[in-house]
Each structure stands twice: as structure tokens, then as C-alpha cells.
């Protein structure tokens, strides 16, 4: 069984080109590595490095190559699939204008223009949008555990707005006008939008990831 060992170490640049040193015990140990090295020297010419000639590329354990070898090494690595990212959250409302006004006035969400007449879009930040669709004819079942979580810069201002407009806010247990403290120090309340969707509203302070 052929043993395999190779390493890369940085060397001072020569003729304004950064070099890499590769050690490999045998040509069979890593054929793609050798192929890239040979192709690089043939393409760049014998002047690639004063200590390297194309006819010496497989002689001795020390090979001088340019950083393009990193491309070959990267191709040999197994890369994980990119993580999915959220784009928007959609809810259905009985009155899309009333719902959009609630989110805009209570939380300052920016209204995004849309060519669709039966939709309202609002900007949730960080590339995420809230899509409000029309057509709801039945009340939303009440369950605080199913909620949209928002964090705000000034929780007191949001609470004052809710009080002014007669909207009850609670803690997770449902105690009216009661604020709770999350484990990382974030203050939280729960409230419903005009269609009964529950919202978890917290201030932007805290120490742990959300």
C-alpha cells in the first residue's frame, strides 16, 4: 500500500509571485496534485521559479508551484450544500389594508410596493418580507406557541401603541399586561394582530443567539 503524505507551506515570493512548497512521497499518492503541478509549469514556463524546471517536476520530494494548486485541492474537498435562507412569511387576512396598517404603525415596518392588488408586502429586515394575502373568512385559532417573533428597538413605545389602540398584550402564559424575561435577558410580550395571529415581541437586548 502506497503511503500518502503531502503538505503546503508558504515561502517568500520570487519575482513578485507567491510560491507554495508541496511535499509528496510518490507520484501515485495524489495524481491530481501532480497533474496540476505539471500543467502549471508547462503553462507558466521554466522561469516560474529559479529552482524549478519542467524536466525536474517529478524529481525529489520538494516541488515549487504557484497558488493555482489550491484550486485542485479545493476540488478534492467535499463541500456541504448551502444552507437555505428565509425569503418571506405569508399570512392571510380578512382586510389586507387594515393588517398592513397595523404592522406599519405598531412596528414601523416599511411597506414594499407590489403589482398584485390582493397582496400587501412589508419589509421585515435582513432580506425577509411579510406577505399579507386576502381571503381570510374564519378566525385564526388562538395558540401563542405558533407566532411570528419580532424584536424592536423600543419595547415601551410598542406597548404604549398597543395600549392606545386597545390591544391586550400578555406573557406566554396569557397573563394580561405582563412582561416576561427570557433566559438571555430579553424582555418579551405577546400580542395578536387584527386577524388573531400571535406575535412574540421582544426588545433588541440580550446575550444569547435568538
- Interatomic CA distance for residues 60 and 75, integer angstroms: 25
Residues 102, 16 share a domain = no
**33 within some domain:** yes
- Interatomic CA distance for residues 34 and 41, integer angstroms: 11
Average pLDDT over residues 79-104: 91
- Interatomic CA distance for residues 151 and 155, integer angstroms: 8
pLDDT at position 67 is 52
pLDDT at position 7 is 42
Give how many domains the chain has, as a whole number. Answer: 2
Final residue in a domain of this structure, among 23, 50, 76:
76
pLDDT band at 137 (very low <50, low <70, confident <90, very high): confident
Q: Cβ neighbours of residue 128 under 8 Å, at least 6 residues apart?
A: 86, 87, 88, 89
Residues 68, 35 share a domain = yes
Instruction: Output the nine-digit C-alpha cell for 72.
Output: 485542485
pLDDT at position 182 is 92
Average pLDDT over residues 28-40: 48
Higher-confidence position of 200 and 35: 200
Q: Is the pLDDT of residue 58 over 90?
A: no
Residues 110, 71 share a domain = no
Residues 142, 93 share a domain = yes
**149 within some domain:** yes
- The answer to whether residues 32 and 77 touch, using CB atoms and an 8 Å cutoff, is no
Final residue in a domain of this structure, among 44, 76, 108:
76
- Averaging pLDDT over each range in 69-78, 136-145, 169-178, which range is the top one? 169-178
Domain assignment of residue 170, given as a range: 88-203
Amino acid at each position: 500500500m502506497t503511503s500518502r503524505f503531502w503538505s503546503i507551506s508558504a515561502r517568500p515570493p520570487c519575482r513578485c509571485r507567491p510560491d507554495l512548497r508541496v511535499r509528496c512521497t510518490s507520484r501515485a499518492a495524489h495524481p491530481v496534485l501532480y497533474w496540476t503541478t505539471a500543467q502549471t509549469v508547462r503553462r507558466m514556463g521554466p522561469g516560474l521559479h529559479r529552482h524549478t524546471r519542467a524536466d525536474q517536476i517529478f524529481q525529489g520530494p520538494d516541488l515549487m508551484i504557484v497558488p493555482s494548486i489550491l484550486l485542485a485541492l479545493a476540488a478534492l474537498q467535499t463541500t456541504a450544500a448551502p444552507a437555505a435562507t428565509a425569503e418571506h412569511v405569508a399570512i392571510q387576512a380578512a382586510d389586507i389594508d387594515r393588517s398592513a396598517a397595523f404592522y406599519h404603525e405598531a412596528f414601523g415596518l416599511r411597506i414594499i410596493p407590489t403589482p398584485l392588488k390582493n397582496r400587501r408586502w412589508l419589509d421585515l429586515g435582513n432580506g425577509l418580507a411579510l406577505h399579507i394575502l386576502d381571503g381570510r373568512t374564519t378566525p385564526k385559532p388562538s395558540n401563542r406557541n405558533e407566532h411570528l417573533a419580532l424584536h424592536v428597538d423600543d419595547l415601551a413605545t410598542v406597548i404604549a401603541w398597543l395600549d392606545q389602540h386597545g390591544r391586550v398584550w400578555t406573557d406566554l402564559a396569557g397573563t394580561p399586561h405582563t412582561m416576561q424575561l427570557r433566559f438571555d435577558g430579553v424582555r418579551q410580550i405577546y400580542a395578536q394582530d387584527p386577524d388573531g395571529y400571535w406575535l412574540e415581541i421582544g426588545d433588541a437586548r440580550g446575550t444569547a443567539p435568538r
